[in-house]
Amino acid sequence: MNTIFVRMSNGQKVNWPVSVVIGIFHLGAIAALFTFNWYVCGAAVVLYWLATGLGISMGYHRLLTHRSYKVPLLLEYSFAVLGTLTLEGGPISWVATHRIHHQQSDRPGDPHSPRHGAFWAHIGWLLFGEANHSNTKKMSKYAPDLAKHRFYIWLNNYHWVPMIVLTVSLYVIGGFPLFLWGICLRVVFGLHTTWLVNSATHMWGQRRFATHDDSRNNWWVALLTFGEGWHNNHHAHPSSARHGLAWYEFDPSWIQIRVLKFFRIAKSIGEARITIEPCRRKEVLQTR
């Protein structure tokens, strides 16, 4: 694992390509604040739901990484394309990184553990060291199921193509303001909310399950990430498509998966549940 991710240390060089791109997007996000109108704001919200909600939470994470449910292949591919619109890399690299995180969570080899520092867990692991996100062959070792698909190989190698297509489209439709909000600000907001799952949910929150890592349930991260903040629940039951296990744990991605199930689109859904016994006020785990 350590050959894939190199921890930041004294004298560690900056990963300039990644740092420059992230820096440019942050400058664009700041510029967007000076071009506000409700139209571009609404467009950014919808794109955030499509890219981070469907693409990352339902697609890259719960479907491709953990295979906690099944959908038709065309819809699976569509989720993957939406995931590339977040600037978080291609599906093979994202899935491989997250699977390594689960295998080595908060231990040596974890690519983004807060035990190496909050800054490292949030963004430092990308800005420093050697994160081989573009090395499809190397990352495929941890996602061999995806590497069987020519589409995923292509999408991982050219994950920037959908972003360029969207960028040009938004500029043609709405000019510079729509570009700044629909691309720059939306992407930066999505990056930081996703990174909060790596950092905040391993530092702050409640632990329902005694897992072998520092994962925690964090309600405000869950609100920002379509339910991904119920991280201790997820680490205890990684194959469960449901992360918010109790009724009061709001999990939008789970609700959307249930909608797909209602229309017989989603099948083979893994589910762990928590119910409350009103008399004893005791949480009881149920697994389907």
| Chain segment 94-135, per-residue pLDDT in tens | 999 999 999 999 999 999 999 999 999 999 999 996 655 678
Measured between its terminal Cα atoms, the distance across the chain in Å is: 32
Mean pLDDT along residues 81-87:
98
From 5-14, 96-105, 242-251, the region with the lowest mean pLDDT: 5-14
Q: For 148-177, how does the pLDDT look when each residue is reduced to its tens digit (9 = 90+)?
A: 999 999 999 999 999 999 999 999 999 999
Return the H-helix or E-strand segment holding 19.
helix 16-32
| 185 in Cβ contact with 44 (< 8 Å) | yes
Residue 30: partners with Cβ closer than 8 Å, 6 or more residues away: none
Selection from 23, 79, 14, 67 nearest residue 239 by Cα: 67
Within 8 A by CB and 6+ apart from 3, the residues are none
Structural domain spans, the chain: 16-214
Query: Which strand (E) or helix (H) includes residue 188?
Result: helix 186-199
Question: CB atoms < 10 A from the CB of 240, how many?
Answer: 22
Exposed/middle/buried for residue 64 (C-beta within 10 Å: 0-12, 13-18, 19+): buried
* Gap between the Cα atoms of 97 and 82, Å rounded: 18
51-65 pLDDT tens trace: 999 999 999 999 999
pTM beyond 0.95, yes or no: no
